[in-house]
Amino acid sequence: MKSVVITGSTRGIGYGLADSFLALGCVVTVSGRNLTGVQKAVAQLSSAHQADRILGHPCDVTQFEQVQGLWDKAQDHFGKVDIWVNNAGIGHSQLEFRRESSQEISAVVETNIVGTMYGANVALQGMLEQGFGSLYNMEGLGSDDRKVRGLTLYGSTKSCIRYLTDALAEEVRGTGVLVGSFSPGMVVTELLTGRYQKGSQDWEGAKRIFNILADRVETVTPWLAEKAITNKKNGARFKWMTRSKITGRFLSASFRKRDLFDGLE
């Protein structure tokens, strides 16, 4: 029974990963900044899985002591940490970089980069001490060097995460600890859709693309969890949306209608 810790797991992809790991028989530590959100997530997961396999603990990943506290709590409760997923991250409105406020820049960088670095620092120290474990960082737009106008800030943070992951994989080579990444592609969460005003022209245009390329959380996270459970390769990158899949989606779009937002709007 593997013990999994997921930062930013009270909703979205993080919550979906928690649900998927639990479905595979793991014990899971759920975390988020807000205690109320953590308690709500634990209650929801407990309605579908054994409550004694779920631990909730609040953690602001921009605070190193809280990240260390998350590791300590999970290790004390379950006896070990087999898998740590740095999932916590935030987005921003689609805005040209020169128009971003200093507060927005600081918040996105501190959560997406510093928070991931803190998680990696704590998890790798702990895993090297216990002699095993796997760390996975969450990639996103920018990890593959794509540029999207208005998302320079977010993309820059995810480009950094790609470098960080590759460098850490080199550092742990030969130690018995693994470092890898998740690349979930477009997933219908608040992080993807939150920058649009529902009903606007921009939203309707974006929705057409999302219905071709995106997927719902419950489609992607079971695949990612299964890959993490069975992986034995250091430096592995689990990419849901491959080039061939993208090509296939566009080729079939005219006769394969999808509405990912049915019942969600």
Residues known to be catalytic: 154
**Does the CA dihedral 121-125-128-134 come out positive or negative?**
negative
CA 156 to chain centre: 16
* First-to-final CA distance of the chain: 38
Cα distance between residue 192 and residue 8, in whole Å: 15
- In this structure, what token pair is assigned to residue 123? 């998890």
231: tokens are 């992986």
| DSSP single-letter state for residue 53 | G
For residue 249, give Cα distances in angstroms to 117, 183, 210, 213, 255: 35, 18, 11, 7, 10
The first and second tokens of residue 120, run together, are 């990696």
Cα angle 210, 213, 215 (rounded to 5 degrees) comes to 80
Q: Could you tell me if 184 and 144 are in contact, meaning their C-beta atoms sit under 8 angstroms apart?
A: no
Amino acid present at 230: T
* Angstrom distance (rounded) from CA 154 to CA 148: 10
Element (H, E) at 17: helix 12-23
Adjacent-strand bridge partners of 56:
30
CB 253 within 8 A of CB 259: no
